[in-house]
A = this chain, B = another copy of it.
């Protein structure tokens, strides 16, 4: 069933919108009150482009929450359960944000631009409201705003030679999640080694929203010799790679331990950090759910899903399948299971997909 999207000023257009339309974008999702391209109508071709060549993604919906002022560093640390004390200027870290009960609110990248200036490059939930509430209630001297910054992702094994051809060989030395402010043909941007795939690549944070088409076209043209083409965060690749989707694979009570983010929780942090006390208690008691993979039987690709699906074993409900997609490499339908911690890899399960009950097997993540 195909439905169109009614234009609304509640949904902000991306600086790359015109360029993606010119490329033939066919489908979108919404993310942080913006439209994000999801398909150019050639799903398998877009998958292999990401795996073998280089793919260009409008991910301007990865919006930035800027903290600026004397208490910016203090607020940044209060907001995330990851220790930021050794974060250097020019470095980013995957930095989960939790509420006071230890429930995951977002899983952004924290970027340190200056001693008094941080960005959270966020997943799909409103962290401006959250950060402003905490800052104001604690009387911190910090402004929480949104800068003019719109990531364009360049992903795939050929992203590095392409980006080096545009910016110079220094980009080859850039470590994962590190970034540098630079420019391209007069376009101001922040260049980071990052992106929501496991195929490697960069994100160009355009810092002038009027120059989206120009930036897109510059990268597109330079990328021709590496067979660049349009793409989007790829459901098949991200599930094969075990990448979490906040809000897709999490619900209103998910804590970081349940979704393989325990290694990003620094339980020794001060109790000033929102959620850290609750997470210490959850860790002591032991989380009740964990995240595994599921490989479903059958060779017929499933359609994209809009709901979670019940997972059972011998008639007992274990939890939910939180996503499901056809894997082009495994040639099976695969997905993530958020299930009780007494379930284990290799166990046989049944998944209720619509009217069908499909057999499957639990497995460790990532798949590949």
Contact = CB atoms under 8 A, between A and B. Distances in A.
Nearest to A146: B252
Contacts of A3: 4-5, 25-28, 35
Contacts of A146: 252
A305 interface: yes
A25 B21 CA distance: 24
A262 interface: no
Given A10-B29, A10-B245, A11-B306, A99 B4 contact: no
A6 B33 contact: no
A184 B268 CA distance: 54
Contacts of A343: none
Interface stretch (A109-117, A129-137, A216-224, A280-288): A129-137
Given A99-B133, A307-B13, A27 B6 contact: yes
A73 to B, nearest CB: 20
A226 to B, nearest CB: 27
A304 interface: yes
Contact of A133 (B1, B6, B134): B134
Contacts of A137: 133-134, 137-138
A129 B99 contact: yes
A178 interface: no
A196 to B, nearest CB: 14
A33 B306 CA distance: 12
A307 B2 contact: no
Given A7-B306, A129-B129, 4 more contacts: A6-B38, A6-B304, A10-B248, A13-B306
10 contacts: A3-B4, A3-B25, A7-B305, A10-B124, A10-B248, A11-B29, A13-B306, A99-B133, A129-B129, A133-B133
